[in-house]
Amino acid sequence: MDVPLVEPAITAASTPSGLSSAEASRRLLNFGPNRVVEERVQPLARVMAHFWAPVPWMLEATIALQVTIGERLEALMIATLLLLNVGLGVFQENRANAALALLKQRLVLKVQVKRDGAWVEAPAADLVPGDIVQASLSVVPADLRIIAGTVLLDQSMLTGESIPAEAEPGKIAYAGALVRRGEATAEVVATGARTYFGRAAELVRIAHVESSEQQAVLGVVRNLTIVNFAIVIGMVAYAHAIGMSTTRIIPLVLTALLSAVPVALPATFTLAATLGAKALALKGVLLTRLSALHEAAMIDVLCADKTGTLTANELIVSAVLPVKEGWS
């Protein structure tokens, strides 16, 4: 079913000769590069984020309790385990991000754009609303309004429609669509996050959900804590009953609380996710976050549009059956 797309939010008047270089530079400062904004995280902040989450909090609390009761060797061992978890996570993320950066460099899109009255080749990221471009056999670099010519557009990634549609003068070609046939001159009407594709990508970027890994670990800890608190209350009541001093009760209570923290569980999750990420990488799947593997494993219902997602978006002949005598 063909899903109707909304008109771009930005329209920009232009001339047949295109924009001047000075005007294009001014608009580039105003509208920004023609790319979906990626959240830039400083390396130090990325590392520190691994220490600021419910799972590391448990290890950090355990370290504090061990130091409190004077068990410095045990605290050092748990700190080493925490650093190992963080190191594995940072290492895997850096490898995945480096691979993605290399892929992006190889996939830089070039377009023919009219600047100062002449056609020049420029990166798609430099396009601004009002630019005049050539749309040919490639990926549509921005939301375009066809001015002259006709192209056959495959917009299945946006509409789910597997059959390409003709785009004539006055029609909109959306960023990310594929030009299957033809060539046209078009005006850029929206770029970057203001395109139809960019607005959808921005919604995905700002969506935040709690990690299923954290839910699983915290669920285990919560249940153990409830049981352990009941035991601690009974121990304290018994200690008072037999006349044990407070200085002897406190270390006993801290030791009991420490037993409720599954210290090795976060390391197990991290190691399992690292091995899983390595296995997926051998099959061509890159994980930018280790927790993504656990989150995928916790999916109960997966809703996906089949066209171009679960299928190759290609109409092919799968079999040929000869007509037998007597068939109508």
Q: Rounded to whole angstroms, what are the CA distances from 247 to 108, 121, 253?
A: 68, 78, 11
Q: Rounded to whole angstroms, what are the CA distances from 44 to 49, 50, 51, 98, 101?
A: 9, 10, 11, 17, 19
For residues 309 and 55, what is the distance between their CA atoms, to the nearest angstrom? Answer: 34
83 Cα distance to chain centroid: 25
C-alpha closest to that of 117 among 19, 186, 12, 14:
19
Q: Write out the two tokens for 247.
A: 């200085």
Instruction: Give the other-Cβ count within 10 Å of 218's Cβ.
Output: 17
305 is a catalytic site residue: yes
C-alpha closest to that of 279 among 98, 271, 86, 50:
271
Catalytic residue among 2, 116, 126, 305: 305
- 126: CB partners within 8 A, 6+ apart: 24, 28, 33, 34, 113
Residue 120: phi and psi, rounded to 5, are -135, 160
Q: Write out the two tokens for 204.
A: 């995905």
DSSP string, 112-146: EEEETTEEEEEEGGG--TT-EEEE-SSB--SEEEE
Tokens 């830039």 sit at which residue? 40
Q: Is 80 left (phi over 0), alpha (psi -120 to 50) or beta?
A: alpha
For residues 39 and 154, what is the distance between their CA atoms, to the nearest angstrom? Answer: 29
Instruction: Kindly list the catalytic residues.
Output: 305
